[in-house]
Amino acid sequence: MSQYHTIDLQSWKRAMHCQIFRNCIEPAYCVTIELDITHFLEKVRANGYSFTLALIYAVSKSANEIEEFRYRFVDGQVVLFDRINTAFTYLNPETELFKVVNVEMKDTIDDYVFTAKYVAEKQEAYFTGPLGNDVFQFSPFPWVSYTHISHTNSGKKDNATPIFDWGKYFEREKKIFLPFSIQVHHSFVDGIHIGKLVDALQKYLNTLQ
């Protein structure tokens, strides 16, 4: 598990907001936007990357740079992780069943894509245990180009793991767009933070070498 430190709620500026949303029946919310992946898709194909694994890296890199996406509840306390890793669904085309794969975040996209592909293909079990707090969860939905998506709810209100999804990309006005969804826990992440993530992610997608 990644390192974290416990937040002092007496001095934390977000303590009141956190508690208000923590007491909600449904403290998580989901936003769907469109990403311009025209440049990103071209570079992914040129570099021979898996589109899915490359996008997981891009999202995780961008989200790790925003503090609010690294807050979690651990044993009832608010903590801030130094770095968040990844957990993603990986489909077996023969059985049409997915497995959940955990991969540590890496410093470069090359390293991450290579490692994630190796780990995903080597793993035989569909599930290797409960997800840790120190992950971003990914569940791609590439068969349809949706405008909204919802998720199953475990009933655990302190589950603050962000979930990222995307649908089938499509062309419009000679550009390629991707429906992309972000689910977060409102105790930690507001709309302004989602806006920061989208801006950072779009910038990365536009500048991948």
Euclidean distance between the first and the last CA atom of the chain, given in angstroms as a whole number = 31
CA distance linking residue 46 with residue 181, whole number of Å: 26
Q: What is the CA radius of gyration of the chain?
A: 17
Q: Which pTM was predicted?
A: 0.97
Mean of pLDDT values over 132-138: 96
* Homologous superfamily, domain 4-207: Chloramphenicol acetyltransferase-like domain (3.30.559.10)
CA distance linking residue 33 with residue 173, whole number of Å: 17
Average pLDDT, the chain: 97
Domain layout of the chain by residue ranges: 4-207
pLDDT in tens, 26-61: 999 999 999 999 999 999 999 999 999 999 999 999
pLDDT in tens, 148-162: 999 988 889 999 999
CA distance linking residue 20 with residue 207, whole number of Å: 39
Residues 147-150: contacts with CB under 8 Å, at least 24 apart: 147/32, 147/179, 148/32, 149/30, 149/32, 149/181, 150/30
